Structure 1
């Protein structure tokens, strides 16, 4: 099984000029705690519900400010042909719960997002399931 078999395919994203409010509304409407941020259809960041709470609300930013100002600018990613074990290790090493998925090292086109919960839902090995459980403890 590869990342492409378990990822969320090409979730909607927002352009970096969108507002913090629009990002929060998107998260509410999709039931997800994050949204990719793009510039000219290239992913340039990710904004999470935590980013909104800490970098916007706690710092008194207006919900009408651009979401690009609070987004994480470093895009952490993997490739759709990577194995779940490789991706899980990368998530653990970087202490994140999700990665942007790109098609291949040459084109680097955005094709999806993979999360710890995606890996857990598709895990067919007891060892991988145990590793997902251990990785998720970092966040609770």
Structure 2
């Protein structure tokens, strides 16, 4: 779900690469507000990994802010999900 509460945005590695490095800007001259992702997507900490992955795919994002009672308790990434799936499939964590 997209949350419009007290949360403003998130800055990701992709934002920095695409909006600073690719544009050959000096990081010291760029404000966070100029590069932050405008859409912040969230998931409940009680949501299934499958549903989180589906939301990431649908929204075209690689991370979701995890909420408990409207409070940020973490961030889940595609890498987290891949590691979890590998672990339950018998691979190394």
TM-score, structure 1 normalization: 0.50
Cα shift at 1:60: 4.4
Name 1:45's counterpart in structure 2.
9
Q: Which residue of the other structure, out of 71, 82, 85, is the alignment partner of 1:120?
A: 82
User: Which structure has more strand as a fraction of its residues?
Assistant: 1
1:54 match: 18
* Whole-angstrom CA distance in 1 between matches of 2:82 and 2:12: 20
1:79 equivalent to 2:50? Answer no
Q: Distance in 1 between matches of 2:17 and 2:79?
A: 22
Provide the C-alpha distance between the structure 2 equivalents of 1:67 and 1:103, rounded to a whole number of angstroms.
Answer: 26
Structure 2, unaligned runs of 5 or more:
1-5
Residue segments in structure 1 that go unaligned for 5+ positions in a row: 1-41, 126-140
Q: How many matched pairs?
A: 82
Q: Which has the higher contact order (CA 8 A, sep 6+)?
A: 1
Residues 71/121 of structure 1: CA separation in 2 closer, same or farther (3 Å cut) = same
**CA offsets per residue over residues 22-44 of structure 1, 9 Å max, x none?**
xxxxxxxxxxxxxxxxxxxx542
